[in-house]
A and B are shown apart, each in its own frame.
Chain A
Amino acid sequence: MTGVAAARREAVLGRLRELGERVYQDIERGVFPSVEIRSRSVTNIVYDERARQFVLGPRTVKRSSHNLKQLRAFTQLLWLAYFSNRLISESRTSTLRDVYYSVQAYNLDFTDQDESDELVVDLETLLGRPREDFNIYPEERSSIFGDLTVEYTVPGYEGRRINLSSHPDGYMIGPSLSTAEFIDTSAELVLAVEKGGLFTRFVEERVHERFKAIIVDMAGQAPRATRYMLRRLNRELGLPVLILTDGDPWGAHIAAVVVAGSANAAHISEINVPDAKWVGIWATDIRRWRLPSEPFNEQDLKRLDELGRDPRYQAGIWREQLEEFRRLKRKSELEAFAKYGLTAIVDRYLPLKLEEAKSL
């Protein structure tokens, strides 16, 4: 099971070379080079039932170097491709902020960070790959812990192996881990939790041993690198992914994005985990466990309405729990289990949920 990260790297390099070659040949033939990018406008984002995620529709927009209004953006796009090509070739990583500043070497300054970020999304759309694949990483990080041996591919660490249960605070899911190859694991499932507090509790309570689990802290809405990591764990290692969030519409949606992708990332495929399962906290759990709860505020109610219209919530547990929330109009956090003692969530709730997950 080695070489997945390397294959990914090669695939992206191949697509970049292809782009360069096409532009090169256009110029040589006396044709103004242009690219067709799938439109990301709201009306072109559709939910793909089969892939169980948001995807872009068939509409495209043309970015042409002949159009004076697009020439600059076209040049910037090609620069970004060139920049990414170098990042990958030299095994360096960079951030969105780096991109914003790096372009200034060519006097192609962006007017603001938004413009720069938008261009990165353009290249993602054009290549159909997340920016992490061309070594541009977000600032936000989340963590992973469990019995999983990985082998680094980043310069200076190539071939070095580490077991992700060696450090009790967990390992940051950054560029090095994202590009590492999976070597070995004894884990039988992945537990993705919304909050760092619960993540620490799980490590302390040796959930990784008791339930043979790899524990992932999503730190709120999971960053794309984390979603991609979850997908790899699911696809490459065949591990089921279970998601635990707070019991409210927001928590439900964190899980939904992991499962079905976000509208914002509709231009990138393959960073969702269609088989992942949201196991709690459900609205029915709040009632069943008599969890301490708070009434919904206005935002909660509004969010509930929005989700009610979302294609991802039209069936199964999603629809069921949404209706329940609508009746209950109350919410509970994961910490609410402390009412029954600090370890109650691990000792009593988790085993039950693992059991329930089998029937989802």
Chain B
Amino acid sequence: MGFRCRQIGKVYPTGDGGVRALEDVTFSVAPEEFVSIVGPSGCGKTTLLKIIAGLIAPTSGTVEFPDGANGDRPRTALVFQEHGLFPWMTVLDNVAFGLEMRGVARPERSERARAFIEKVGLAPFARSHPHELSAGMQQRVGIVRAFVSNPRVLLMDEPFGSLDAQTRLVLQDELLRIWKDDRKVVIHVTHDIEEAVRLGDRVLVMTGRPGHILEEIAIPLDRPRDSSGGIAPQVAEIRWHIWKILESDVRKGLWIPE
């Protein structure tokens, strides 16, 4: 088993009883599974991700990782939407940061970081600072930084959310390419339904107030999930299905009557 979330709930305390951000979120993930979580803004996706990462504690429920002998692998690594890279470090130091924090000596961590930087074709920029790179290049650095520490679970919070539509498509394929060489559990959070269906082995559909999982949809399609006319018809069909689940929720959020 990859890991399991059991009845996770999160309440943010306020004056009148608190805001219920998450309620009864339960799912388990198989080893090497790519799970996409899709839902509108404010449905608690990011909160869930931070709970899995151990950055915030759930009010109730548990995240269970199986005990393994692989003690020097971190449980999780995070990829953020933007500003995830440290602007004061070179690309190389950014990618090696997780290893540095785990006490890996400089020669070894530089070598491992360099290998991943080369894998995404950014070797000429190893000594550059993030501000010298385009947003798409920065995001590739963010992705390999998460891969290089070899976490058991890779957590991605809207990793392509700030990129233009074309760059996003290319980087989705790039992510799949890296992941195929180096399989691990991925929890990928997005509000882009098509992205979720293009990438995930399984899609968890979430809605808010309080955040909970409405439906789990397995995507038993081979990748890449494109056809000559664009996305494959099956993908379009599932996308439509998910949109119909979410539409009324989104309309309610915007106060648009059905």
Is the A/B pair a real complex? no
